[in-house]
Structure 1
Amino acid sequence: MAVHLVMQAFMLLLACELAEAAPPIAKPNCKSWCGNLQIPYPFGIGPDCYLDKWFEIVCKGTGGSAQAFLTSIDKEVRQIIISNNPSTNRFIEPIVQVQVPTIYSKYCKYAGNHGTVNITRSPFHFSPYHNAFISVGCDNSAKIANIFPQIFGCESDCKKDMKVDKEVECSGFNCCELTNIPSNLQAFDVEFRSRNKSNDEEGGKKSCKYAFLADKEWLEKSKRDPSSVQYWEYVPVVLEWAIFRWNNNSHELFHFLKGRRNVSCSFSDEHKDYFYSFSCHCATGYKGNPYVEGGCEDINECEDDLLNYCKSKLDCENTEGGYNCEKRKSKLKTVIVGFVTSLGVLFLPATWVLYKLIKKKKKIKLKKKFFKKNGGLLLQQQLSSTKNNVQNTKLFSSKELEKATDHFSKDRIIGKGGQGTVYKGMWSDGQIIAIKKCNIVDKANLEHFINEIVILSQINHRNVVKLLGCCLETEVPLLIYEFIPNGTLFQYIHEENEGVPLTWAMRLKIAVEIAGALSYLHSAASLPIYHRDIKSTNILLDEKYRAKVADFGTSKMVKIDQTHVTTLVQGTFGYLDPEYFQTGQFTEKSDVYSFGVVLVELLTGEKPVSSTRSEEGRSLSTYFILSMKENHLFDILDDCVRKEGDKEDIIIVANLAKKCLHLNGKERPTMGEVAMELQGIQKKDTNGQENYEELHNVRSKEIDPSYACSTSTQSYSEIASSLSSIVLPSSSFKSL
């Protein structure tokens, strides 16, 4: 009995010691739990326990049923994550999951609470990676409101003859879903319209429609049917957050974190002295809360087979922030090792080989796990089903990519976007490469990733960015491209730069190269390819200012006799084909329309969408057509175009751009015809003589103001109005 009591006392003492040794989560003398929810600093309960008012938590109730509320935005908190995932050591954006109301249209039975959320000017924003936008209803066209010029939303209907993807729960029948929302979204409201415009008019059929943002992981795990949203009042949404440098507390916290070797921070600006906000996590090899003293504790990698490459736990020695695959020494082990060594010298080579084989097998097993998770099997299936591959997709190892990028140093980042981060790397032979690292692996990003590999494996063209290979054996997949040093065409047209100015000759040359690449995709590739996201940010310029078409994540490869693809409408406002929006059918002429917008950008130096222009002319295509109609073409041209270009050539190019922007896709030229006409103009400028045969069709047509609208009952201003209310996801990824 006495022994039993002693053992109980010993275990209690041991538990107390372990509890004391656990790294702190909250500030000293502050509550770290509200019910079953852990409250880590900079969040806190009570005075002096939170960083500032934005992070104040109020705990309502007692025991396990207590609820936490974030007072600054008046929302119930379900989860707070502040650091990296210990099992993967992969950085996760700091997030907080909160409850937000669903939104419904005014024709619903209970339409008293519209459910809008506004967290503007707070350090929180809706996560573009963790949330999905879902809308439910018949004859339904829903879009996120007040995010001009971005357009984001989806459409659903209840027609019995609708073609829907049965594998996707919300694929258009009474329910639609989009998995990538705009970045930095802080106000969430929804505009509902009818797909049938006549129903929006007075006396038309009215129906109840719903929409909401929700945590994708919650949707998947809860297995709830979104069409039952009328019975939900709140849904969990993920907010990302950062710490703003706007008061003494945040300044002090920053200086406390600065220079700590077990903490890693990311900044809103690459220059750490002038950044606007920051967030931190425990460095690789550590876990816990980086914002409190002693909050990051060492991870024992030897206890998790996924965190070390050692043969066994006996061979693994944990170190501060890492581990060694060396046997830990003890007197007994020393005797055993000495005895075995003395008896087994002859077997040492075989033992060493066996050890290396086991270690290699373990590495291969882990790489296979990542390969499968990153879509390797899907990629193999896609490539095997695609005939006549132009080039084989090379698989690179994570080790050589880490070496090429100095372990993915922040100093090597050359671009960031919605889908990933791009790093500049260098092989040992001096070749420079660009590496796109996915932000997060979800179904949508994985499909774009695999699609880009499959598409680019079919392409071998000097004006299409070259895919060198990919890496699937890491936590997130990587794409490796040739390095294009001079940025995007958008930067050279619209941003001030001290580099080489875009002369008329350069603009014409770039237009010829883009047109030639698109003509190749449509007509000369092994299977026709529709790019589906042509815009100036997806046109890169190399060291000789040659155009390179990039970003094939949403591209489609079609059968030779196929005339269109039917998809949920998606694209970038300002470049979107109005006919595609109205029909949902993307054709090669939809790429022609987008190219026409780029051509107008080259001519005018104007952005595809601008709030500085009149409301009627916010869309560049509308502005351009109206200016030509009013005979003001030369008033809107870029200065260098007007001064350097031949007047007749400018008129020809403008007329060609207008043809590309025709509302009726059948009346637009093919990209082959566009490329030929542009080449003819370039040849004339180069040789000083005209190629009449190539330019005959262009020169034979005068600039007729009514030409672009001749086959449509809608004017360009009406189309612009309809596009301002169109619902589709914006393409937010910044190219290489």
Structure 2
Amino acid sequence: MAWQVFVFISLVAQLSSAEILAVTKPGCSSKCGDVDVPFPFGIEPGCFLEGFNLTCQKNATDGTYKLLVYDVEVLEIMLTTGQARMNNHISWQCYRPNRTKSIDMYTWQFNFAHTQYRISQFHNKFVAIGCDTLAYNAMVDFKNDSYRTGCVSVCYSQESLTDGTCSGIGCCETQIPPGITYYRASFDKNFNGSMSNFSRCSYAVVMEADDFIFNTSYVTGYDFWNTNKGQVPILMDWSIGNETCKVAQRNASNYACVSPNSVCKDKQNGPGYICNCSEGYEGNPYIENGCQDIDECKNNSTCGGICVNTIGSFYCLCPPGTRGDPRTTAGCNNIRKSSEWVKFVVGISVGLMVVAILICLLYFVHERRKIATIKENCLKKYGGQLLYQEMKSKQRFPFTIFKEEELKEATNNFDASNILGEGGNGTVYKGTLKNNIDVAIKRCKTINERQKKEFGKEILILSDINHKNIVRILGCCLEVEIPILVYEFIPKGNLFDLIHSCRASCISLSIRLRIAQEAAEALAYLHSWASPSIVHRDVKSSNILLDENFVAKVSDFGASVLKPMDEDQYMTLVQGTRGYLDPEYMQTGLLTVKSDVYSFGVVLLELLTRKKAFYPDKPDDQRNLSSTFLSAMTENKLEEILDDQIMDVESMNLINRVAELARECLNIEGEKRPEMREVAEALDRLRKTMKHHWVHDNPEDIESRLGETSNYKEVEMISYHSIEESAMLAMESGR
């Protein structure tokens, strides 16, 4: 009778799931032309959630309809993955030899800032096509952090082009960082295709990776533009709100997953969440009763017996008088009454079970040995023996080699709630060791072959750094694929947050000069007294931390370079943060200690003006704080950009002298900039000229005026090739 009961349940389930699946609210358009418009998206008022309104536009010429978000065409909306496929314009540059050898150019900016959309990180790529082409891609993410990438495409001859290959010959491509909401493609006018006799146009665009296969006709003709009619698909991620599922579920009135049998999923490419129907259900989880049971028995080829659909699942039964597994090739067989047959089957089953248990035990033993071998190899690969020998030779060597389990325990298995900041080099967690000492634990993202070979030596050099204004490295973990670094914990956040907090008016001029001098002394130590000399390469206010007494400590040596003993300057991959980068270093790729001097000059400007180093949304001539400052100095308008909180009659002479020091640091020619030790000495002299005796501010006083202090905040770094490196296609790995 059991199978008859299941058949009855199946009929009830099929009737309950027979309802037509709704995709949008009643009275709302579900399509625009051939494109489905599911809720939370909508065209008419009241038919969409905030931020998901679309426009259905009719073409007056042919009567067709286009679905638009702002002025961008939407080709497809995917509820399950939280994505939308859109049309993106191709930027181009063409050299016209018959028209006074001019260059025509069209650049497109794709702007979804302050919306629920973000460019999909893993499903898109930045593509540049052409000969003698250098294309840039300026980007901004949802946190308003800026990036810039680019690549160079050259052609030696028409025969050097290869279909399907996009590695720098006629075509190049780069990856997209996470969380990007805005990008603008542009070209270097010095790379214009004028040297090629078979290609006159270059193209640049962010597009869906799976939709692009390079064809040589894209270079030799105009097929890339003509075939796509100037537009290519781009895949966008979207999400509901800016909260995680855990937070959103607390507010039932605004929670978007309203259908029973729906689940919430946190979005990985930025904040917010999406909704899905639970397993065994399908439909739209954003509307009431939108998730309906799936009838798994329709066209079910896996069940060789009687398929019985249930709510959220199904059963597969053998017909009466048979037994077996109807889902296997053996299927259902007639029941045999022979006891010998039953004994035989039971014996075989027990034997197989014993063999399976033995195999599992052997597998676990093998895996444990394999893991131990991997850890031992990692220890050898990163110079662990060198570090152990040094620790044995020096009884008080201030460095510890941690085990992976120690750091997992210290961070609650690297729980997200312990994250202090995320940057271009890795993620920093707060941890507490067994002796109740708080530390900052950094998990690096990547490490190249040169760094692997030199890791042990470089860690020994960094561990010897002992300066009151430099964050100390306490140890590392080497039994993992990429080493984990352990630093002292600095509790009061960073200088960027202190300067730009809304209540930063409590930072007096004396405090700012003290912090500047302490940071300058730290950099002077790295340049002049460390052996070998160390170039920080990413000096910025967010990398200057503040301890419990608000003493400055320079941090984040993820981008640092140990300077060769016999060279004052050397070629390296251009790396740093927009607004702080030395323009001479950007142009030549030659790194010197004077590059740190330029970046420190920008930090001085932040202290004087309380303005950020870079504003991506402003006009080109107002984006960089350094250029704004230099213009103000030239036009004798310095007071217009200074922070009102530090300007008074008595302090203006001192401020002018600090500004003049900053101008020297920002000299376009690196050789004319002062050494960091000279900058530190100059700041010390300026502090001593202040009329009132210097008194260290009470840290509790400062904190009470500031309010709650910020945690770590690492700003993503941009990394892009210098023109010379790109043209030679010499992709340098390493710091």
TM range (shorter): 0.5 to 0.7
Residues 531 and 129 of structure 1, relative CA distance in 2, 3 Å threshold: farther
> CA 1:670 to 1:206, structure 2 compared with 1: closer, same or farther past 3 Å?
farther
Paired with 1:552 and 1:563, the residues of 2 have a C-alpha distance of 20
- SS of the counterpart of 1:434? strand
Distance in 2 (CA, whole Å) between partners of 1:223 and 1:457 is 47
In the alignment, is residue 195 of structure 1 matched against residue 190 of structure 2? yes
Cα distance in 1, alignment partners of residues 479 and 284 from structure 2: 29
Deviation digits for residues 360-387 of structure 1, max 9, x if unmatched?
6524635777999xxx5896279979x9
In structure 2, the CA distance between the partners of 1:265 and 1:226, relative to structure 1 (3 Å rule), is farther
In structure 2, the residue matched to 1:458 is: 461
**How big is the shift at 1:597?**
1.0
Instruction: List per-residue Cα deviations over 1:8-48 (Å, max 9, x = no partner).
Output: xx9xx99x99xx99xx9xx98479xxxxxxxxxxxxx9979
SS in 1 for 2:255: helix
Distance 1:489 1:611 in 2: 21
2:569 aligned residue: 564
Cα separation, 2, equivalents of 1:287 and 1:429? 51
Pair 1:106–1:583, CA change in 2 (3 A): same
DSSP 3-state at the match of 2:553: strand
Q: Secondary structure at the match of 1:362?
A: helix
Structure 1 partner of 2:538: 533
Q: Is the 8 A contact 1:504 1:645 kept in 2?
A: no
1:52 and 2:41 matched: yes
Aligned match of 1:432 in 438, 462, 470? 438
User: Hey, what does 1:490 align to over in structure 2?
Assistant: 496
| Alpha-carbon separation, structure 1, partners of 2:413 and 2:177 | 30
Match of 1:185 among 181, 189, 194: 181
Using the alignment, how far apart are the partners of 1:81 and 1:474 within structure 2?
35
Is the CA contact (8 Å cut-off) linking 1:123 and 1:242 kept in structure 2? yes
> Are the counterparts in 2 of residues 370 and 474 from structure 1 also a CA contact under 8 Å?
yes
* C-alpha deviation, 1:112, in angstroms: 11
SS of the counterpart of 2:564?
coil
The equivalent position to 2:557 in structure 1, one of 545, 552, 558, is 552
Measured after TM superposition, the shift of residue 676 of structure 1 is 2.6
Structure 1 residue 583 displacement after superposition: 2.4
User: Per-residue CA shift, 1:594-617, capped at 9, x if unaligned?
Assistant: 111111221232322358999755
Equivalent in the alignment of 2:120: 127
Contact 1:393 1:453 in 2 (8 A): no
Residue identity matched to 2:41: D
* 2:603 is the counterpart of 1:603: no
Matched, 1:394 2:406: no
Counterpart of 1:156 in structure 2 is 152
> C-alpha separation between the residues in 2 aligned to 1:111 and 1:643?
52
> Which has more strand, going by share of residues?
2
Number of matched residues? 566
CA contact (8 A) 1:452 1:553 kept: no
User: In 1, Cα distance between the equivalents of 2:410 and 2:217?
Assistant: 45
Which runs of structure 2 are paired with 1:366-381 in the superposition (5 Å)?
Answer: 366=371, 376=378, 380=382
Change (3 A) 1:668 1:103: same
Q: 1:105 aligns with which of 83, 93, 99?
A: 93
Query: Residues of 1 paired with 2:283 and 2:571: CA distance?
Result: 48
- Measured after TM superposition, the shift of residue 104 of structure 1 is 2.7
What is the distance in 1 between the residues matched to 2:649 and 2:453? 44
Which structure is higher in helix share? 1
Q: Give ranges in structure 2 of 5+ residues lacking alignment.
A: 24-33, 43-51, 57-65, 98-102, 157-164, 295-310, 313-345, 392-396, 695-721, 727-735
What is the correspondence of 1:399-414 to structure 2 with a 5 Å cutoff?
399-414=405-420
Structure 2: which amino acid aligns with 1:516?
E
1:676 alignment counterpart:
681
Contact 1:490–1:537 under 8 Å retained in 2:
yes
Cα gap change, 1:521/1:260 in structure 2, threshold over 3 Å: closer, same or farther?
farther
The aligned amino acid for 1:195 is N
Answer whether contact 1:452 1:552 (CA < 8 A) is retained: no
Q: Structure 1's 531 and 430: CA in aligned 2 closer, same or farther, altered over 3 A?
A: same
Quote the RMSD (CA, aligned, Å). Answer: 6.3
Q: Provide Cα deviations, 1:150-190, integer angstroms capped at 9, x if missing partner.
A: 46243537598xxxxxxxx988776655445474324x442
Say if 2:379 and 2:479, in contact at 8 Å, map to a contact too: no
Q: CA deviation at 1:669?
A: 0.9
Q: State the partner residue of 2:659.
A: 654
Secondary structure of the equivalent of 2:516?
helix
Q: Secondary structure at the residue paired with 1:492?
A: helix
CA shift at 1:405, angstroms? 3.0
Question: Does the residue aligned with 2:519 lie in a helix, a strand or coil?
Answer: helix
When normalised by structure 1's length, the TM-score is 0.58
Going from structure 1 to structure 2, the CA distance change for 1:513 and 1:113 (only over 3 Å counts) comes to closer
CA displacement at 1:78 relative to structure 2: 11
Q: Quick one: distance in 2 between partners of 1:415 and 1:667?
A: 36
Whole-Å separation in 1 of the counterparts to 2:649 and 2:187: 48
**1:143·1:151 contact (CA, 8 Å) conserved in 2?**
no
Any idea what SS the aligned residue of 1:522 has? helix
Gaps of 5+ in 1: 1-9, 32-44, 59-68, 83-93, 161-168, 270-275, 299-331, 341-350, 690-724, 730-736
1:588 maps to 2:588: no
Alpha-carbon spacing, 1:152–1:294, altered in 2? closer, same or farther (3 Å): same
The 1:582/1:638 distance shift into structure 2, 3 A limit, reads same
After superposition, the Cα gap between the structure-2 partners of 1:132 and 1:556, relative to the gap in structure 1 and judged at 3 Å, is farther
Which residue of structure 2 aligns with residue 211 of structure 1?
204
Instruction: Give the aligned residue type for 1:563.
Output: D
1:524 aligns with 2:513: no
Asked if 1 retains the 8 angstrom alpha-carbon contact of 2:410 and 2:432, the reply is yes
Q: Which amino acid aligns with 2:496?
A: F
Letter in 2 for 1:549: V
Deviation at 1:661, TM superposition (A): 1.0
CA distance in 2, matches of 1:451, 1:252: 56
Cα distance in 1 between the residues matched to 2:68 and 2:583: 44
Q: What is the CA deviation profile of residues 311-349 of structure 1, one whole-angstrom value per residue up to 9, with x for unaligned ones?
A: xxxxxxxxxxxxxxxxxxxxx99x999xx9xxxxxxxxx
Counterpart of 1:316 in structure 2 is: none
Match of 1:244 in 2: 241
